[in-house]
A = this chain, B = another copy of it.
Amino acid sequence: MRIGVLGAGQLGRMLALAGYPLAKTFVFYDMSGSPSVGLGEVIVDREGKYLDDFLSRVDRVTYEFEHLPVEVAEKLAQEKPVHPCPRALQVCQNREAEKTLFGELGIPTPRWKIADSAGSLRAVAENLGCPVVAKSNTEGYDGKGQAVLRSPEDAEAAWEAIGHPRLMVEKFVEFSREVSIVAVRGEDGQLAFYPISENVHHEGILRYSIAPAPKLEKHTQQDAERYIKELMNELGYVGVLTLELFETANGLVANEMAPRVHNSGHWTIEGAMTSQFENHIRAVSGHPLGSVEPRGLSCMINIIGEHGEVERLLELPYAHVHLYNKGERPGRKLGHVNVLADSYEELVWRVRNCVQFLPGSPEFISSLNRKSKG
């Protein structure tokens, strides 16, 4: 079976590495003009002229990024199976649609309102109570097109800074940590849920994911599974879906979803019986899903901006290095290191050992540190 992947970055690369052992072949369709997938056939098509060619050469279509015109996905879906479905894309590209869907399905979210002018932004900020975060309703990702309002007086400046005609405004959530759940749904509706990971961000970029998340209460995993199950069943979803959440004193609150394999699931390559990449390929191909059981404890460390001392990392017996073969650039994801351990204490120690060779990495502060301090 030949799988067409819309997008040609590191997620597509890791999908392919997981798919070849299942006898899949790959064609990547790149709209950016700078594919980094580095293996398989790549059709570079900034002007959208070769989409039919791409389509004629594949059996099924998936995507590795969600900033894809929905019309394109819909057009493709008329000809070949496209997983996940275009509706999932549509929802993810519009924060209002996403939050509305969450609400309909009983998935808790921060309080939110829409603003469509500087004046309404101010009114919304007053109504919700500051601080609030305003985000462009469409086209924003990775912390871009966002502003925090500490008081309603910040509305004018925030409106100008974001420069978007429609904003999602959310009340700040008091959370203890950020977590996510990665799940997969097969063509036959079979479901599997990876354990929740704890995610540590710095400057708007994911830096660490620890899985299974330490000190997790059993009902928290169950709640997350219930929420993502509702989403997948409602959307008739096929493939891997990720739901980012805040853990609060009142339980989980949903932040956003990503209709694809996710950075916070990279730990599954060595840390689970079947990786998120293999399970996505299995789902998209109509195969049974693989086991999502964890294999020990994992921490994924992103390599951001510069590679650091890779040779030193390769010396560490517990570190698995995954490079994307991309050039260095500030803020760019260049690879990740999966660290395995049998206890959280050992995991912390091993992560610290790795981080000394990754100069751009922030201090490893997670619930694990709080534990070791307390």
Task: Give, as a whole number of angstroms, the nearest-CB distance from A278 to chain B.
Answer: 9
A38 located at the interface, meaning its Cβ lies under 8 Å from any Cβ of chain B in the complex: yes
Q: Do A288 and B273 have beta carbons less than 8 Å apart?
A: no
Copy number in the complex reads: 2
User: Given A21-B322, A39-B40, A323-B23, is A314 in contact with B290 using a C-beta cutoff of 8 Å?
Assistant: yes
A contacts with B, residue count (CB < 8 A) = 33
User: Given A288-B314, A291-B317, A317-B290, is A21 in contact with B17 using a C-beta cutoff of 8 Å?
Assistant: yes
Residues of B within 8 A of A175 (CB): none
Residue among B40, B273, B321 making CB contact with A317, cutoff 8 Å? B273
Q: Do A291 and B315 have beta carbons less than 8 Å apart?
A: no
Residues of B within 8 A of A335 (CB): 23
Residue among B22, B39, B288, B321 making CB contact with A315, cutoff 8 Å? B288
Q: Do A20 and B38 have beta carbons less than 8 Å apart?
A: yes
Residues of B within 8 A of A314 (CB): 282, 287-288, 290
Question: Which 6 pairs of residues, A with B, have the shortest CB-CB distance?
Answer: A291-B317, A23-B323, A23-B325, A288-B315, A21-B322, A288-B314
A-B contact pairs, 14 of them (CB 8 A): A17-B21, A21-B321, A21-B323, A23-B323, A25-B325, A39-B39, A287-B314, A288-B314, A288-B315, A290-B314, A290-B317, A291-B318, A293-B317, A295-B295
